[in-house]
Structure formats: structure tokens, C-alpha cells
Amino acid sequence: MRVAYLLTTPRAASYRLGRMILPQLEAGVHGVEVVAIFFFDDNVMVLQRGNPIGERLSRLAREKGILLMMCDDCALERGLAVGEPRWCTPEGEGRREPGECRVAPHVVEGVEVGCFPDLYRALAGRVDQVITL
């Protein structure tokens, strides 16, 4: 089974991912193929360079081809991205063309930044289950 994780609740990245899922993936015993992990709210903070969870995850994602994507607004608010929201104006209006949003240099290697349209495009036909933690 191929899954994507959406990390939405407090400590989903630091606890559930960092202390359960990531060690299982590294040991090869997780039981499913993880295709993508999408980070919301403060969960994006583990993706900073120097964070042990982020560094391990970056390495694993590179080896296994796992998509790591941060919510654009969440990353912008926390200084982990630069630019503007991709699919909404800074005033909260929808837009038809994506805004320019880039991952900040102090984020671990291999992370992307986006919003739902970007995630849907990246996951199309690649997952069997989406799991929200």
C-alpha cells in the first residue's frame, strides 16, 4: 500500500513522525510505502537544517523518493519560505496563476513548498491512502 501523511496536529512531526514513523522507515519495518509527507503549522519547524529529525528525513526521502512538502503559508509565517502564497494573494483572495514561493536556505535538502493544488498534482495516481496525523 502507498500512503501520504498529512501532519496537521501539534507535535505530529516531532513525536509521531520523529519517534514512530521515521525510525520504522529507517529500519524497513513500517509496512507501507510512504510516497509523501505534507507539513502544516508548527510541524514545518522540524525541516530546519540542523534539526535531527529533519536531517534524517531529508536523507531518507532522497534514498526512497519520498516527497517532502511544506504548506506555503505555514512556511512563510515561520520564515522557512520566502515570497508569497502560491494560490492565494496575501489578502486571502484566490489566484489562477501561482505566486512565487521558495524554500528558505536554512531548510533541509529536498523539501518543496506548496499548497493543495501542488500536493494534488504531485500525488495524482501515486497513493492508495492519505493519512492525517
CATH architecture group of domain 2-132: 3-Layer(aba) Sandwich (3.40)
CB atoms within 10 A of CB 93: 7
The answer, yes or no, to whether residue 102 has pLDDT greater than 90, is yes
How far apart CA 81 and CA 37 sit, in angstroms, is: 17
* Domain range list for the chain: 2-132
- For range 93-98, the mean pLDDT: 95
What pLDDT is attached to residue 128? 98
Question: Model confidence over 4-62: pLDDT tens digits?
Answer: 999 999 999 999 999 999 999 999 999 999 999 999 999 999 999 999 999 999 999 99
Name the pTM for this structure. Answer: 0.96
Cβ(6)–Cβ(40) below 8 Å: yes
Question: What average pLDDT is seen over the chain?
Answer: 97
- What's the helix, strand, coil split of the chain in %, to 5? 40, 25, 35
Measure CA 44 to chain center: 7
